[in-house]
Amino acid sequence: MSVGTIDSESLRNEMVDRLASDHHAKGLALRPEVEAAMRAVPRELYTPGIPLEEAYENTAIITKRVGEENISSVSAPFLIAEMLGQAADALGRLEGRHVLEVGSGGYNASLLRELVGPAGSVTTVDIDPDVTDRAAACLEAAGYDDVIVVCADAEQPIKPGRRYDLIIVTAGAWDVAPAWRDQLTEDGVLVVPLRTFGMTRSWALRRSGDRLVSESHRQCGFVSIQGAGAHEMRYIDFAEGVHLRLDEGQQIDPAVVAGLLTKPREEAWAGLSLPPRTVLADLNLWLATHLIREVREFVVLSAQEAAVASGIVAPSWRFGTPATLHDGTFAYRSALRWTGRLFDLGAYAHGPDAAAAAGRMVEHMRAWVDAGSPSPVLHVLPAHAPDGDLPDGVVLDKRNSRLVLAFTSR
C-alpha cells in the first residue's frame, strides 16, 4: 500500500469520525451502513486537482462555474451523510433498491452504489455534458463503472416506464417535477432540497398515489437546478452588503426600501430563557407560514460579514433570516441575546410601525415555543388539486405542484 493510499484512508476515517460527532451534536445518528460506505469511497478521486487534505474537509467543492455562478459541485460530506440517512430511515434499508440520482458529481453515486449492493442499481443524471463526462470518468477511475450515467434534463422521465425506489436530488429545486413523483414506486421516497419562501430544506417525501408527504427534513443549501425546472431567485440591494431575497414572485420597488435601515431601530424580545441545544431550524419556516398571513411581503434577509460587523444589521443568520416588509416598515429575526448559558429570541424593525412589527414577530416566536417547538410536515400535491383536497396548512402554489406546510408537535 502506497503512502498516498495510507494518507487517504487516514483522512477519510478522520472525516467520518467528525461526521459522526457532528450528527451526535445535532441529535442525529450516523447510520452504520452510511458510515461504512463513506469509509470505503475515496473522495479524492472525485476532486482531481484538489489537495488531498482539502478533499476531506467538510465542505462542498465547486467543480464548475459560469461567471460568478457555481453550477456544479461535490457536496459537503455532512450534507451527503444526512440526506443518505434520510433515505435509509424512510425506506428502512437501501440494499437491493433501485435509485435515481438527479445531479451528478460522482461521489454521491458511488456511495449509493455501495449502499444498494449487487442486487440494486444506481442511475445518475445531469443536464450538463461536462458534468456527466466528468462524473463518468471519476466513477470509472474509482471502480464504479456499473453506475449508469445519463445526460438529460431530469424534469422529464429518464426512461419511460422505469420506476425507482428512491430518487435523490442533489441540486436546489424550487418545485417538484411531476416526473420525479411518477417515476417513484408506490411507497417510494424522494429526497429533495426544496426552496419554500426562499429557504431550503432537504425533504424526505414518501409517495402515496399522486401526492407526496414528508417524513423528515434537514436544513441545507445546494447549487440551483438547471433546465426546465430552474427558477431565478431575485435580490434587491438594501444597503451596503445587505440584500433582500425574493423567491415566490414578490414584486418590491427598491425605492421603497432605500434608506430604511438608517431609520431608528426598534427591538422586541420574547422573554425566554432557552438552553443552547434548542433546535431553531424549524422556527424560520414557522415564521414564514404565520407572518405571510398577516403581511403582504415575507422576504429573506442576507448580509455580508462586514455589514453585520459594522452593525448595519444583526440577523439571526446572515445567510438567510426571515423578514417582513409592510407599509414601509421592515422587521427581521435578530441575533440571539445571551444571558449566561441561556438565550432569548428577538426581532429588530425599522420604519413608521417598527415597534409593533417587531412585537408581532416576537409573538410568533413565543407561540412556537409555547406550542412545543413544532416541526413542519410538507404535503406535495399536483397543481390541479382542488382546494377541497388540500390538507390543513399554509398553501404555497408553485409551477407544477401545490405545497402545503403544516406543523406538528414533537
Alpha carbon distance 253, 119 (integer Å): 56
H or E, element range at 151: strand 148-151
Alpha carbon distance 71, 247 (integer Å): 19
Q: Are 365 and 333 in contact (CB under 8 A)?
A: yes
Over the range 174-209, which residues count as b (16 or more CB within 10 Å of their CB) and which as e? Answer: bbbbbbbbebbeeebbbbbbbbbbbbbbbbbbbbee
- Sequence-distant (6+) residues with CB within 8 A of 259 are none
Q: Catalytic residue among 75, 121, 302, 316, which?
A: 75
Question: Is the alpha carbon torsion for 385, 388, 392, 398 positive or negative?
Answer: positive
Alpha carbon distance 74, 386 (integer Å): 40
Q: Enter the DSSP assignment of 232.
A: P
Q: DSSP strand E in 282-354: where?
A: 297-303, 321-326, 329-333, 337-339, 342-344, 346-350
Name the β-bridge partners of 195.
200
Annotated catalytic residue 8: no
Q: DSSP strand E in 37-80: where?
A: 61-66, 69-74
Q: Are 298 and 324 in contact (CB under 8 A)?
A: yes
- Which residues are the active-site residues? 75
